[in-house]
Amino acid sequence: MNSPSSITMSPAVAAAVAGRQPVVALESTVYSTLGLPAPHNKQVLEASQQAITDGGATPALTAVINGRPMVGLDDPTPVLTATAKVAARDLAVAMAKRWSVGVTTVGASLTLAHHVGVNVFATGGIGGVHRNASVTGDISGDLPVIGRFPIVTVCAGAKAFLDLPRTLEMLETLGVVVIGFGTDELPAFTTTTSGLPVPHRMDDPAEIAAVLRHRKALGQGGVLVCAPPPEPLDADVLAAANEQAEADADAASIAGSARTPYVLGAIARLTNGASVSANTALVTNNATIATAIAVALAAG
């Protein structure tokens, strides 16, 4: 099915959207080797999609395939080996140049989901304000897109190698409502503790569904739900890995869209793969929570 902006839905997603059945959109960068090493990426993608199906919703993996923005892929294989990262600002270029495979970031995926009427989305961690951003200016394009569209994004907070206090401040500026799911503290992706309080806590998916309905009625944008990772890393081990990974990235002059994949890879090496296991568990957990919210939204 083609929408006016030529976004293509898979038959399963198109049927679910038309029937007002619950759908959970997924980004694809995290499932490419830019996000997780093989074979973990394939296993996590399958586990996430299974969690959504088991919970009674339809998974909608987003990507650009042969220049076509897709919401729902019948064959997700191309995503696993893709190396072209498509942020929201790159979507139109990937379409115009007919990129064979582009994996979409949180911001790009939210843009596609919104345009086909999907309002719940799951990821691992969102992009944020990078450390030293006052010098480099590196602030993820995910943030303004989260603020713009009325979609529930379920994540485990933002990665601990970012500047989390400034990330929360930027979310406030952008008008994003930040909710801790079963927690009063912002999780820091692979650890449960950031030391930063979240503005609101909710434990009931139906209450989060109600928040989204009210946001829409008010003409407001995104809802960010932050869930603690179920298999967290030791905070001190992670902090040491973060420091080293950031220093390595600086020494190698890695900037722009390559910075996040580089740092994620360095942390995986420095923690002997422990960060990958924690990442796997939290991505699947977020998909499960997003499904419960999507089911509550469809019921209400």
Q: Which does 22 bind (CB under 5 to 8 A by kind): ligand PSU, Mn ion, none?
A: none
Contact 96, 127 (CB under 8 A): no
Binding region for ligand PSU (CB under 6 A) out of 15-23, 64-72, 137-145, 171-179:
137-145
Among 78, 125, 228, 229, the residue binding ligand PSU under the rule CB under 6 A is: 125
First-to-last alpha carbon distance for the chain, in angstroms, is: 26
The residue (of 114 and 131) whose beta carbon lies closer to Mn ion is: 131
Per-residue x/- mask for ligand PSU, residues 25 to 64, rule CB under 6 A? Answer: --x-xx---xx-----------------------------
Whole-angstrom distance, CA of residue 279 vs CA of residue 230: 10
**How does DSSP classify residue 258?**
G
27 counts as catalytic: yes
Instruction: Find the residue with minimal CB distance to ligand PSU.
Output: 35
Binding region for ligand PSU (CB under 6 A) out of 38-46, 54-62, 64-72, 122-130:
122-130
In order, the DSSP letters of 87-134 are -GGGHHHHHHTT-SEEEE-HHHHHHHHHHHT--EEE-S-B--BBTTHH
CA neighbor of 211 nearest in space, from 223, 226, 225: 223
How many alpha carbons fall within 13 Å on the CB side of residue 91?
23
- What residues between 91 and 120 interact with ligand PSU by CB under 6 A? 105-106
Whole-angstrom distance, CA of residue 56 vs CA of residue 51: 9
147 binds ligand PSU (CB under 6 A): no
Instruction: Quickly count: other Cβ atoms within 10 Å of residue 84's Cβ.
Output: 16
Pairing of strands 152-155, 223-226: parallel
Q: Which of 42, 46, 159, 231 is catalytic?
A: 159
Per-residue x/- mask for Mn ion, residues 122 to 161, rule CB under 5 A? Answer: ----------------x-----------------------
CA neighbor of 58 nearest in space, from 72, 47, 44, 75: 72
Per-residue x/- mask for ligand PSU, residues 241 to 280, rule CB under 6 A? Answer: ----------------x--x---x--------------x-
Token reading at 106: 């949180």
Q: Which does 264 bind (CB under 5 to 8 A by kind): ligand PSU, Mn ion, none?
A: ligand PSU
85 counts as catalytic: no
- Residues at the site binding ligand PSU, with contacts judged by CB under 6 A: 27, 29-30, 34-35, 105-106, 124-125, 127, 140-142, 159, 257, 260, 264, 279
Active-site residues: which are they?
27, 159
